[in-house]
Amino acid sequence: MRILRIDSWDGQPGGAQDYIREIGVELSRRGHTTEVLDLVSEPMDHPPPGQRSVKVPAGWGRRLPHDVIAAPDVEAAIRAAVRAFQPDLLHLHHFDAAFASIGRMVPELQVPLVMTAHDAELVCPISTLVRPGNIVCEGGVRPRCLFTGCHVGFGGLYNLWQQRVFDAQVAPHVRAYLCPSYSVAGYLQTHGYRPAVHLPSFARIPPEVAAGTVVAPPDGVVPTVGYLGRLEQYKGVHDLISAIAILRRTLPTARLSIAGAGPYRAALEALVEREGLLGAVEFVGSVSGAAKETWFSSVHVLATPSNFWENFPLVALEGLVRGRPVVGTDIGGIPDIVVPEETGLLVPIADPSALAAALGRLLTDEQLRSRLGGEGRRRVLERFTPELHADRLEAVYRAILAGRSFPPQSEADAWRIS
């Protein structure tokens, strides 16, 4: 197969871009040919083979007309990529930068189209699915979004137009929406984006970790909670810091190690000081390679405390495969990974007290930690592998190219990993 991927993304590169690269490598190993067309504001100076970029304007004021009015240069680039590559299938990742151009081109290209829902933008203009007051939203991009108190702002009209373009010009041509989480699959099905196929993602696990044994924290290490990820407000790290302050009232030795970087770090450091947690909370910055393994060996429990919708947090897989049970919030795709009393514990969003109680339970019960961490490791190695994901992705592609209505009802359960 020849698969052309289009990623129209206007934010910082993240997990979705890592996925696009890694699944391309996996498909290439299987004899398929893939190419990526990026619509980005900062193209790479030296893109890797099989990846080309189209520069789109940066900044809200400059991007707005480029997005809502079809841009001839973007259309020409898409048309040229299709003509040169001759894809069997077009795979769309995101619908952001230059979306009007994509909308105009999709009907013209007449190539089978699939889309991966990396986020919740199709059903929420700001992809949070949480209204003020920590109310999980029913979804749907509608004019009412401008009046719910959500932080949609002036971008609301932009989002409504974006949705209109997608619904009118792109959605009729999408053969399948690939959904990393049950949550987003349910939202898409509810709002008419069908078929929504559950296709969990995977974490790229170092071979030595997959083949090795669980490394427990050394004797004498005080009870430690770990957080690994970007430092953004929606990640809920402020709730985690507040939970540690509550937990230390009954477990005074508990500490928190925060690995990662992001624009919210200064605010989090100020919160640590206000909570009187200096010395109990450390910021270690970004970790990778051997430093990441050292960090994981120093924590007993991993927390994923997101207070907005998360599609499929790969960091939870990373923690489980290293035998660390996960305490996560009950939103988005987190419950796909964190199964209560089996691989970890779930708590409501934005509830530091509940989070503190769950963390305390795991930190003080070594037997429970070992059981949940061991089961979590087994499930990750069995169910969330690049090979299994690629097997299922290939099956989706083949079904579409064969002209089948996908997925047949009789095979629905075959596309679920539970």
Other C-beta atoms within 10 Å of 38: how many? 24
What's the rounded Cα separation, in Å, for the pair 43 and 36? Answer: 12
The tens digit of pLDDT for each residue in 305-346 reads 999 999 999 999 999 999 999 999 999 999 999 999 999 999
Mean pLDDT of 84-110: 95
Q: Which two tokens stand for residue 53?
A: 């970029």
pLDDT higher than threshold 60 for residue 415: no
Q: Where are the domains of the chain?
A: 2-202+386-415, 207-383
Instruction: Give the β-pairing of 196-198 and 174-179.
Output: parallel
Kind of pairing between the strands at 130-131 and 135-136: antiparallel
* Strand intervals (E) in 78-214: 89-93, 113-116, 130-131, 135-136, 174-179, 196-198
pLDDT at 360 over 90: yes
The position carrying tokens 């988005």 is 332
In CATH, which of 3.40.50.720, 3.40.50.2000, 2.30.140.10, 2.40.440.10 is domain 2-202+386-415?
A: 3.40.50.2000
Distance CA 398, CA 400 (A): 5
Retrieve residue 143's tokens. 């004019």
pLDDT in tens, 369-380: 999 999 999 999
317 vs 328: CA distance, rounded Å: 12
Q: Are 177 and 193 in contact (CB under 8 A)?
A: yes
Q: Which residues contact 410 (CB under 8 A, 6 or more apart)?
A: none
Using pLDDT thresholds of 50, 70 and 90, give the confidence band for residue 66. Answer: confident
Paired tokens of 23:
């699944």
- CATH code, residues 207-383: 3.40.50.2000
Same fold: 2-202+386-415 with 207-383: yes
The most confident of the ranges 31-45, 130-144, 354-368 is 354-368
- Match 């698969």 to its residue by tokens: 3
